[in-house]
Structure 1
Amino acid sequence: MYRKTMLLAAALAVAPNALADTVFGVYAGGQIWNANNEGQYAVGSNLIEPNFENENHNSYYIALEHPVPLIPNIKVRQNTLEIEGGYGENDFSHRDYILYYEIFDNDLVSFDIGVNAMDFDGTLRTPLSNNFARQDFSVIVPTAYAAARVGIPATDWTFFADVSALSVKDSKVQDAQIGVEYRMVENLAVDINLNAGYRHSVIELDDVDEIYSDVTFKGPFVGVEVHF
C-alpha cells in the first residue's frame, strides 16, 4: 500500500509538467553569426560595389508549439544584418514570421514544413550630389520553410538544419543553416541547449523601391536555446 501511494504521488507531481510540455511549448533562443559579407547592389541605374566588411551579426527568436489540429505553430525570428561598405552602413535586417506544422516528431527525429514571410525593412547608402544619401526599402518576401532534427541515440547531441527559400524571376531569397546541438540542461522545468553550425544567406532583390541587390552572408555561428 505504501509503495502504491508513493508511485501515485510521484505521478501526480510529474503530470502537470509533462502535460504542459505536451500541450504548450515555448522556445526562445539566439545566435551570434560571424559572417563573410560580399556582393553588390544598385539604386536605380547606379551600381555600387561596396567591398563589404566582415562583421558579426545576431539573430534571436521565440516559438510557440501546441497540439491544436490545423492551426500552425508559430516562430518569430529577428535577423540583424548591418554591414559597413561603399558609402556607409547598409542594413539588410529582416524579421521572419514562420508558420509551420510538425509532420513527424519523436525523441530522435523531427521534421517541420511551412511558410516564412521574410519582412525586410532596410537601408542602403548611395552617392547623391557628392553627399552620402540613404535609400530605404521595404518588402515582404514569402518563402517555403523546412526544418529537420536528428538525434544521436544514447547521447545528448542532435544534428539540425532549416531552410527558407524562394526564387521568382530575377529575385532570390535564401536563408539556410546546419549545425549540431548539445543538451546542456534537461529537466521538468526547463531545457537549455547549446548549438553551433554554419549559416548561408542570399538576398537578391529585383526592383524593390528602386533597389537591386545581389549580396551573400555566410559563416559560422554559435547560439543557445531555452525550452520552457
Structure 2
Amino acid sequence: MKKIVFSVMLMAFFTANVQAAFTFTPQENNKVGLYLGGQIWQSEVSGFFGKKNTLSGFNLKKTQQSNYFIGVKHPFSMLPNLRISSTRLDNVGKTNSTQRFSIDNDSTVIYNNVDTDVDISYVDYTLYYPLFDNGLFSFDLGLTARDFDGAVTETDTTTTVMTSHDGGLDAEEHPEHGHIVTETTTTIATDKIKTNDIEPMLYVATNINLPLRGLSVFGQGDFLLIADHSLYDYQVGLSYDLVDSSVVAFNVTLGYRILKMEFEDVDNLYTELEFKGVFFGVMTHF
C-alpha cells in the first residue's frame, strides 16, 4: 500500500504544472549539466536492532562508509531534475556472555558469542525542482524513493563445558580417589533478516555562497513522508571550488552527516539506529 501511495505522489509531483514557481530559477547557460561525486563518511553508530522483543546493541564499531551519486540538471523548468545516489551502510559487531552453574562437585559453563553483520545499504532516486536560485542562494525541493537492499545476519555460537568429578565427593580434593571428566559441545545457529523496502522521503537542499570566492555553505536532507517509521538523513558542510570554468567544475566538500532510522517491522526488522560523523567529498560537473 505504501508503494502505491508513493507512486501516486511521485506521478502528481512529476506532472504538476509548476511553471509559476520557477520565475527566479535561471538555469546555468541553458545547458544540460552532468554531476558526478562521492563521499567518504567516518560514522559512529549507536542504538539497537534485531527482531521484535530481541533488540541488541552488538557493540557496533566506528566504520568508514561511502556514498556515490550522479545527477542531471537541465533548463526545462516543467521537468524535475534527477539525482541517483548509492550509500553503503554496513557494520559488524559482537556480544558475548558467560554463565556458570554448579551442583555438588559438577559444574557447567556456557559461553555464548553472537557475531552480527549489518548491511542497510540503499539507493536514492530523487526528482527535484530548483525553487529559487539567484546565484547567491539556492533552494531545491523534491521527492526521494529510498530503496533499501541489504540484510542483517546473526551468527550465534554457544559452547557448553560440563565438568564432573568421578570417584566420590572428595575427588576434587583428592584426585587419586577419582578423575575429572570434561565434556564440551558447540552449537552454531545463523539467522538472516533481509531488508528490501522502499521508503518515500521529502528531499530539500540549499546552497549559500560566502564572500570568499569559491567557498559556500550547503545543507541537504531527506525526511520520511509517511509516519509508519522514523527516518531522517541530513548533512551540512562547506564546499570549495578548486576548478570553475565554463567547461568543467571541480570542488571538494567537508561536513557532518547524521542518519537516524527507527523501523518497526520492516521485513521483520526492528531498528533504533543512529549513524553520525564527519565526511569528505568531491564533485565534478560538465
2:40 pairs with 1:32:
yes
1:7 maps to which residue? none
The whole-number CA distance in structure 2 between the counterparts of 1:149 and 1:204 is 29
* Cα deviation 1:207-227 (Å, max 9, x = unaligned): 111111111100000010001
Q: How far did residue 107 of structure 1 move?
A: 2.0
94, 108, 113: which one aligns with 2:141: 113
Looking at structure 1, the residues matched to 55 and 224 of structure 2 have their Cα atoms a distance apart, in angstroms, of 24
TM-score, with normalisation over the residues of structure 2?
Answer: 0.70
Structure 1 segments of 4 or more deviating over 3 A?
127-130, 167-170
2:51/2:269 contact within 8 Å kept: yes
C-alpha distance in structure 1 between counterparts of 2:28 and 2:285, whole Å:
12
3-state SS of 2:30 partner: helix
1:147 aligned to 2:205?
A: yes
Distance 2:53 2:188 in 1: 16
TM-score, normalised relative to structure 1: 0.87
Query: Greater shift after overlay, 47-56 or 216-225?
Result: 47-56
Alignment of 1:13-28 (within 5 A): 21-28=29-36
Contact 2:116 2:155 in 1 (8 A): no
| 2:253 aligned with 1:225 | no
Asked whether 1:124 is paired with 2:152, we answer yes
1:136 alignment partner AA: K
Alpha-carbon distance between aligned partners in 2 of 1:125 and 1:207, rounded to the nearest angstrom: 16
Asked if 2 retains the 8 angstrom alpha-carbon contact of 1:39 and 1:51, the reply is no
C-alpha distance in 1 between matches for 2:192 and 2:250: 41
Answering whether residue 78 of structure 2 is matched by residue 70 of structure 1, we say yes
Cα distance per residue 1:146-189 (max 9 Å; x no partner)? 00000013511000001101164451111100000000001122
Unmatched runs of 5 consecutive residues or more in structure 1: 1-18
SS of the aligned residue for 1:46 comes to coil
**Structure 2: how far apart are the matches of 1:76 and 1:182?**
22
Equivalent position amino acid for 2:67 in 1: S
User: Who is 1:186 aligned against?
Assistant: 244
Which residue number in structure 2 is paired with residue 197 of structure 1? 255
RMSD: 1.8
Opposite residue 279 of structure 2, the aligned amino acid is F
Give the secondary-structure state (helix, strand or coil) at the position aligned to 2:149: strand
Q: What displacement does 1:130 show?
A: 3.6
